[in-house]
Amino acid sequence: MLNRRIFSSRPSCFCVPARNPIPVIRSKMKFISRFGSLKPAGSLKILSVLPIALAVMLIAMGCSSNEGDGPASRNEGPVVLSGGSVATATPLPIADQPAEVPDGLQIVWEAYSILVREYVAREKIDPDVLAEAAVIGMLDALEDRYTSYISPKTFQIDQAGFQGKFGGIGAQVEAAPDRKGVIITRPLPNTPAEKAGIKAGDRILAVDGEDATGWSVLEAVNKIRGENGTPVVLTVEHVGSLDPVDITIIRGTIEETSVIIRQVADTPYGRIRISQFTAETAREVRQGVQELIDDGATGIILDLRGNPGGLLTATVDVASEFLTEGLVTYEVNSRGSRQDWVVKKGGKFPEIPLVTLVDNFSASGSEVLTGALQDHGRTVVIGTNTFGKGSVNLLRGLSNGGGVYLTIGRWFTPNGRLIEEIGIDPDVVIEFDLDAVGINPQTSEGGDPQIEAAVKQLDFQIATLASSHG
């Protein structure tokens, strides 16, 4: 038996091959799900899989390209640039209008000019405030929950989380499906958030009494993070409850593990749990799988449940360990141009039987990896439909010190499936409530029907292979 091994690494933000299906046990097991209601039909998402991932105190779900790797670099970081009414039939001239105003935007300047010239409460006219309000309204009109205005204060968010440790509560957050604030997608194991009772799916209503329902992910991260040892009060709404609760959490230093390796008890199979994709993840996976094989493992369970993504390059590298050729994913940008990320040569495990576990909070890089393995016929996917975060996001600076966080591309699986707002459908659907049945997702103590289904699927695959060869 292989002893538990934990790899610790630095958090970081994250030809169409034919699908050759592996034999699949097609039963659909349904347990009570507390996540299903989070995703209405037509569903969530950005995948961005690979947008820029924020990891500061809370880790914002997502994934980004690594500087210098792949056909396109995305990890560019912020770019800082510095009683009645009377109508007139003949409008007065607009003073100081810019030389060129795009069609359709002229009314913005016209409205401002009218205010400056005629509004009675002139003391309320603050160009900076009005400009911010106009930008916010402009971006809100796009109805893209991953495109938003970032205030100058929030724009300066500390990037310490990308260095391996960060102060905060230890929870991953994402924009809510209804665009009303943010939700907790996963409290990290053994962190202040988990110990305080924070659960996956919790909606953050307020932070220290300040209404959070209109915040972006960046704003939430900026408000919740703070010095180690200091308290923060989150007002949250648990999934399935209408009664908000106040939870006091003492901030601490958060150290996240990237890969956990263990052998599944009483089986010849190993389990690789990837919590996020970092620069070291592929190396850790390669080492871990080899150790499992050396210890007698004949099949692998790849556990991506709750994985929010991370580095795109790491995602490609992990996929390449189990594939021989073809695409991992491709991106279509705002101009309609396509960029491909292909399988790298030298993968060590292209034939070992493989089952992949996902859930409602498997997002971004984990969706890219799952989609690639599924399209290549390399794995059977078990669990629930994934988060659907399939967009590429970038933070751009503005001259006022603030910025715009915007969607600049979409990610697709090798067979052309859009991930954004759709997610990855499992081959075998199994829904259940981890908390309700008292399961420790790190150890599977208490029983885990998805792990059990994965074991049965591997038994089936191996038996099928044996009969075909004999």
Give CA–CA dist 382/426, Å, rounded. 5
Give φ, ψ of 68 to 5 degrees: 85, -10
pLDDT of residue 143: 87
Give CA–CA dist 394/76, Å, rounded. 8
Give CA–CA dist 16/327, Å, rounded. 7
Active site residue: 258, 389, 391, 444, which one? 389
Q: Does 433 participate in catalysis according to the annotation?
A: no
Active site residue: 65, 258, 364, 391, which one? 364
Lookup: tokens for 168: 């905060």
DSSP summary character for residue 245: E
CATH 2.30.42.10 domain range(s) in the chain: 170-254
Lookup: tokens for 101: 């105003």
> What's this model's pTM, rounded to 2 decimal places?
0.69
Choosing among 3.30.930.10, 3.40.640.10, 3.10.20.30, 3.90.226.10, the CATH entry for 5-47+257-387+409-468 is: 3.90.226.10
Q: Does 362 participate in catalysis according to the annotation?
A: no
Per residue of the chain (470 residues), give pLDDT as tens.
433 343 433 333 333 344 556 777 654 443 333 233 333 333 222 233 332 233 333 433 444 444 334 443 333 332 222 233 333 334 444 445 566 777 788 888 889 999 999 999 999 999 999 999 999 999 999 988 888 888 887 776 533 333 444 568 988 787 787 777 888 887 887 889 999 999 888 999 999 999 998 887 777 887 888 888 899 999 999 988 889 999 999 998 877 678 999 999 999 999 999 988 988 999 999 999 999 999 999 999 999 998 888 889 999 999 999 999 999 999 999 899 999 999 999 999 999 999 999 999 899 999 999 999 999 999 999 999 999 999 888 888 899 888 898 899 999 999 999 999 999 999 999 987 655 444 444 444 457 899 999 999 999 999 998 887 76
Active site residue: 317, 359, 375, 448, which one? 375
> Can you say whether the dihedral through the CA atoms of 428, 241, 361, 408 is positive or negative?
positive
Choosing among 3.40.50.2000, 3.40.50.300, 2.30.42.10, 3.90.1300.10, the CATH entry for 170-254 is: 2.30.42.10
Distances (CA, A) of 155 to 79, 120, 401: 10, 34, 7
> Can you say whether the dihedral through the CA atoms of 429, 435, 438, 439 is positive or negative?
positive
Sorted by sequence, the CB contacts under 8 Å of residue 198 that are 6+ apart come out as 169, 171, 184, 187, 234, 236, 247, 249
Distance of CA 385 to the CA centre of its chain: 14
CATH 3.90.226.10 domain range(s) in the chain: 5-47+257-387+409-468
E strand or H helix that includes residue 25 = none
Q: Name residue 445's beta-bridge partners.
A: 440
- E-strand stretches of 116-268: 148-150, 166-168, 171-175, 182-187, 203-207, 210-211, 231-237, 245-250, 252-254, 257-263
Q: Does 241 participate in catalysis according to the annotation?
A: no
Q: Are 173 and 182 a contacting pair, CB within 8 Å?
A: yes
